[in-house]
Chain A
């Protein structure tokens, strides 16, 4: 049995029960009632307005208002419209979508049905990260069950609405999580983000109007339909309503996934829910929202975990993947690992990203090897500035921000490496 400790939960409330993953088990807990309600009692526009009113923000990283995104889809269209569920979850530190796919695939399908009805999509493509075999199996099984029971297909839940779901497995590239990189990959092409405009709502999958949402985003929707926008706004903060799944990893006693309201202080998550730092050591820094987000130092863990408050500290909520590092951590090594990831995963189209990610990584490695020079720190920041905000997709920003965060809060680590000509931390490793 999987343990999901939670304080406030609806998404994960029944996760301890294996049966929740089956159609029968899900329906026993009231599953598909929201879809029935939306498809038979509400107009598509009302669904969009309800989700807008709930203030639900996308949980895929950018935090965009979901109802607003849906309203960008053309209402009248003589071509098919598509919905895409982004289950590529590849952000290091992030593992929330995986649990949702594994434990509650019907919750996802119900959210998808409601969204599809709202935007008028005929088909949803669920794009699942290549490495997620078990989650993909679970989703495929659930989709088959749903077709069997008439919850998918020509006459969804007897409402007359037609909807099909196609499960598509990715092949293991981080960049295929970026929504237009995903669309290219879905179409069988090399996973490279598209230049915008056009935006997916105009020209998306296979050239058709398309909305892309994250797995978790969809999962919130049935609850909003069932219980209302006001109820949803009862969780979280004014600007960031609802709960979210925080995945905590690193040097904590109890790493895991925690469903908590947005706005929960980072310190509460790290020290209460995740049991604090293992081995009685002190915390050094915490990455609050997946590896792309700038790190916070120990002194700033009081921050409420919502975009508006994290932004004030120069970082963002991202995917809610919290990575905790204790005092034995070499922040230059962290820089090496992070910059290696981005160097490896850049799709390579944009000059700044292709060349910048490699250069950042080479400098990080050199500093860690003890061959750094004091000018290198300025060069790192300058490269990061050149990469930020100038490329086809936000990947280059995601590669630049961690570097800026590390140098903002842990410059001393870098300077120490340069001064000593070696890494001052014991547990060094081969680069």
Chain B
């Protein structure tokens, strides 16, 4: 393994790595060793054009760009000399001579690399007397992105992204010299399932998303680590939070899951959190048959009464449970316990499906289908079949995917049931047939873990608090279980304790719980094997 010395610090690296990669791999880049850079991005090809990353390499008379200099064993690098500083100052000054200095009205202000490096390496007073180059403002590049040509520093990250990641190649540099501009190819729009990533990688405020533009100044935002729940990939994200509100999702780097990207649909799914159709109350169908808002406790009481009556008359076997693939491992573990305690054999999980690609987007449009499978939950088609054949009188359903996955022709198929109890985050068609609806928390509002398609268990954090009474699915089931007097249900729901109990009882999760998965997640211990082990025991676990 080649070893290099950077500012006296010895770093080991793999064969063929550039100086910047070596620093990045060692976690030192801009975190102990400052090598400012614009065009280099860890997940894109090397461009070598911004010339900001120049460093002194012993044995080379000229400064070398750290992004394109492959480490040779014994290489000695200096990033702090006067010459290096001068070179950085040069690049920054030259980038600023034509920059519009829009900061007061620029969305990037506060997270702008030109601001940052101008602060670090800029001259205090502009020496240019020449008129700044005028260029196009507010260029509509497509459905998601607005472009400001004046702010662009031509690092070409956006071009390389479109060429190399979605491979849709919408962007290019047109013209040359100081007339160079980024544009879409004639007749083309920047329109691909990952288009909004260009706004993240643009070091300046040249590319902004229509969605986030002008919503809030970024310095008011707190970034909370979390997960996208748009599909089974489980992309790692930051939730941008202010005043208990989620303003945006941005990808958080996890080389094992999503590198530094996320898809547009997933990014925009933050809108679900504060959506107007969130369930803000519990609902109970009254004697006249109309569904009325109710207090949470009253709704739990109503649900318990209905279920108890059915158990009393026909036994628990006529109750079916449908779990949600959006629920956390802890929710689902509690669901399984709930079903077991009830003593019914009819349960499953409803997994919504959609389009997939070979980059990130998975066909399963829920974050925890793999977790549900690892916990032994079968397909909800069993439930649908039994409802159709008339063997079911009551349904306890987590979420509304049971309606949207094609298992039922329509919601009216449930109209004949004696009791339908729904735990959900949003209003749905269920309001036509449900007898009790209990509001639950969105993934952004609760702690827990999710298992992605690759079996990686990842940490979910409560980033915001709902403004009304809503509990995680697991907690609601726990309240309901207590009201029903089910063994082992005392109405409490300590997610950390549940996570540990899960890890202890499930071989696949052995040692894998909320506090042990770290910020990159941990892969299940052979999930297939664990599922096979479960099978002989049947659904009555």
B97, A392: Cβ atoms under 8 Å? no
Q: Does A133 contact B (CB under 8 A)?
A: no
B176, A351: Cβ atoms under 8 Å? no
A366, B52: Cβ atoms under 8 Å? no
0/1 string, B30-48, CB within 8 A of A gives 1: 0000000000000000111
Q: Does A359 contact B (CB under 8 A)?
A: yes
0/1 string, A379-409, CB within 8 A of B gives 1: 1000100100111100000000000000000
A351, B177: Cβ atoms under 8 Å? no
The distance in angstroms between the C-alpha atoms of A290 and B130, with both chains bound, is: 29
> A348-B154, A355-B95, A359-B94 in contact; A392/B49 too (CB < 8 A)?
yes
Q: Does A358 contact B (CB under 8 A)?
A: yes
B178, A352: Cβ atoms under 8 Å? no
Residues of B contacting A379 in the complex (Cβ-Cβ under 8 angstroms): 127
> A197-B68, A352-B90, A354-B154 in contact; A359/B177 too (CB < 8 A)?
no
- Segment at the B interface, from A55-63, A339-347, A418-426: A339-347
Residues of B contacting A197 in the complex (Cβ-Cβ under 8 angstroms): 68, 70
- Interface majority SS on B: helix, strand, loop or mixed? loop
B87, A390: Cβ atoms under 8 Å? yes
> A390-B54, A390-B87, A391-B51 in contact; A351/B95 too (CB < 8 A)?
yes
Residue of A343, A351, A366 touching B51 (CB-CB under 8 A): A351
Which residues of B45-67 have CB atoms within 8 Å of chain A's CB atoms?
46-52, 54, 62-63, 65
Which residues of B72-87 have CB atoms within 8 Å of chain A's CB atoms?
87
> A386-B93, A390-B54, A390-B87 in contact; A358/B46 too (CB < 8 A)?
no
The distance in angstroms between the C-alpha atoms of A347 and B177, with both chains bound, is: 5
The distance in angstroms between the C-alpha atoms of A344 and B68, with both chains bound, is: 27
Give the nearest-CB partner of B130 in chain A: A362
0/1 string, B218-244, CB within 8 A of A gives 1: 000000000000000000000000000
Q: Does B462 contact A (CB under 8 A)?
A: no
Residues of B contacting A391 in the complex (Cβ-Cβ under 8 angstroms): 51
Least CB distance from A190 to B in Å reads: 8
Q: Does A195 contact B (CB under 8 A)?
A: yes
**Most chain-B CB neighbours within 10 Å: which of A175, A195, A391?**
A195
Q: Does A105 contact B (CB under 8 A)?
A: no
Residues of B contacting A366 in the complex (Cβ-Cβ under 8 angstroms): 129-130
Q: Does A357 contact B (CB under 8 A)?
A: yes
Q: Does B179 contact A (CB under 8 A)?
A: yes
> A359-B128, A366-B130 in contact; A343/B68 too (CB < 8 A)?
no
Q: Does B310 contact A (CB under 8 A)?
A: no
Residues of A contacting B70 in the complex (Cβ-Cβ under 8 angstroms): 197
Least CB distance from A324 to B in Å reads: 28
Least CB distance from A126 to B in Å reads: 24
B94, A349: Cβ atoms under 8 Å? no
Residue of B94, B129, B130, B175 touching A352 (CB-CB under 8 A): B94
> A351-B49, A352-B90, A390-B63 in contact; A357/B127 too (CB < 8 A)?
no
Least CB distance from A419 to B in Å reads: 18
Least CB distance from A187 to B in Å reads: 16
Residue of B63, B175, B177 touching A358 (CB-CB under 8 A): B177
A350, B97: Cβ atoms under 8 Å? no
A354, B178: Cβ atoms under 8 Å? yes
Q: Does A295 contact B (CB under 8 A)?
A: no
Q: Does B91 contact A (CB under 8 A)?
A: yes
The distance in angstroms between the C-alpha atoms of A355 and B50, with both chains bound, is: 11
Q: Does A204 contact B (CB under 8 A)?
A: no
Give the nearest-CB partner of A375 in chain B: B127
A389, B62: Cβ atoms under 8 Å? yes
Least CB distance from A393 to B in Å reads: 11
Residues of A contacting B48 in the complex (Cβ-Cβ under 8 angstroms): 195, 392
Which residues of A334-378 have CB atoms within 8 Å of chain B's CB atoms?
343-352, 354-359, 362-363, 366, 373, 375
Number of interface residues of B (CB under 8 A): 35
0/1 string, B162-194, CB within 8 A of A gives 1: 000000000001011111100000000000000
Q: Does B425 contact A (CB under 8 A)?
A: no
Residues of A contacting B46 in the complex (Cβ-Cβ under 8 angstroms): 195
> A351-B91, A352-B51 in contact; A346/B127 too (CB < 8 A)?
no
The distance in angstroms between the C-alpha atoms of A355 and B93, with both chains bound, is: 9
Residue of B94, B130, B176, B180 touching A363 (CB-CB under 8 A): B130
Least CB distance from B169 to A in Å reads: 13
B94, A348: Cβ atoms under 8 Å? no
Least CB distance from B192 to A in Å reads: 22
> A348-B154, A390-B87, A390-B90 in contact; A357/B50 too (CB < 8 A)?
no
A350, B177: Cβ atoms under 8 Å? no
Residues of A contacting B65 in the complex (Cβ-Cβ under 8 angstroms): 195
Q: Does B98 contact A (CB under 8 A)?
A: yes
0/1 string, B78-119, CB within 8 A of A gives 1: 000000000100110111011000000000000000000000
Residues of A contacting B178 in the complex (Cβ-Cβ under 8 angstroms): 343, 346, 348, 354-355, 357-358
**Most chain-B CB neighbours within 10 Å: which of A197, A343, A349?**
A349
A354, B177: Cβ atoms under 8 Å? yes
Residues of B contacting A175 in the complex (Cβ-Cβ under 8 angstroms): 176
B49, A349: Cβ atoms under 8 Å? yes
A348, B127: Cβ atoms under 8 Å? no
A348, B173: Cβ atoms under 8 Å? yes
B177, A348: Cβ atoms under 8 Å? yes
A355, B127: Cβ atoms under 8 Å? no
Least CB distance from B133 to A in Å reads: 8
0/1 string, A189-204, CB within 8 A of B gives 1: 0100001010000000
The distance in angstroms between the C-alpha atoms of A357 and B98, with both chains bound, is: 12
The distance in angstroms between the C-alpha atoms of A346 and B91, with both chains bound, is: 16
Give the nearest-CB partner of B127 in chain A: A379
Residues of A contacting B93 in the complex (Cβ-Cβ under 8 angstroms): 386
The distance in angstroms between the C-alpha atoms of A349 and B91, with both chains bound, is: 13
Give the nearest-CB partner of B52 in chain A: A351
The distance in angstroms between the C-alpha atoms of A229 and B153, with both chains bound, is: 51
Residues of A contacting B94 in the complex (Cβ-Cβ under 8 angstroms): 351-352, 355-356, 359, 383, 386
Give the nearest-CB partner of A389 in chain B: B62
A357, B51: Cβ atoms under 8 Å? no
Least CB distance from B505 to A in Å reads: 56
The distance in angstroms between the C-alpha atoms of A351 and B48, with both chains bound, is: 10
Give the nearest-CB partner of A359 in chain B: B97
Which residues of A290-349 have CB atoms within 8 Å of chain B's CB atoms?
343-349
The distance in angstroms between the C-alpha atoms of A366 and B52, with both chains bound, is: 29
Residues of B contacting A345 in the complex (Cβ-Cβ under 8 angstroms): 176-177
Least CB distance from A373 to B in Å reads: 8
0/1 string, B333-366, CB within 8 A of A gives 1: 0000000000000000000000000000000000
Given pairs A348-B180, A351-B153, 16 additional interface contacts (CB within 8 A): A175-B176, A197-B70, A343-B178, A349-B49, A349-B154, A350-B51, A351-B52, A352-B51, A355-B95, A355-B97, A356-B94, A358-B178, A359-B94, A362-B130, A375-B127, A390-B90
Can you give 30 contacting A-B residue pairs, CB < 8 Å? A175-B176, A190-B173, A195-B47, A195-B48, A195-B49, A343-B177, A344-B177, A346-B178, A347-B176, A347-B177, A348-B179, A348-B180, A351-B91, A351-B95, A352-B94, A354-B154, A354-B178, A354-B180, A355-B94, A355-B95, A355-B97, A358-B177, A358-B178, A363-B130, A373-B129, A375-B127, A386-B90, A389-B62, A390-B51, A390-B62
Closest 5 CB pairs of A and B: A386-B90, A358-B178, A195-B48, A348-B180, A346-B177
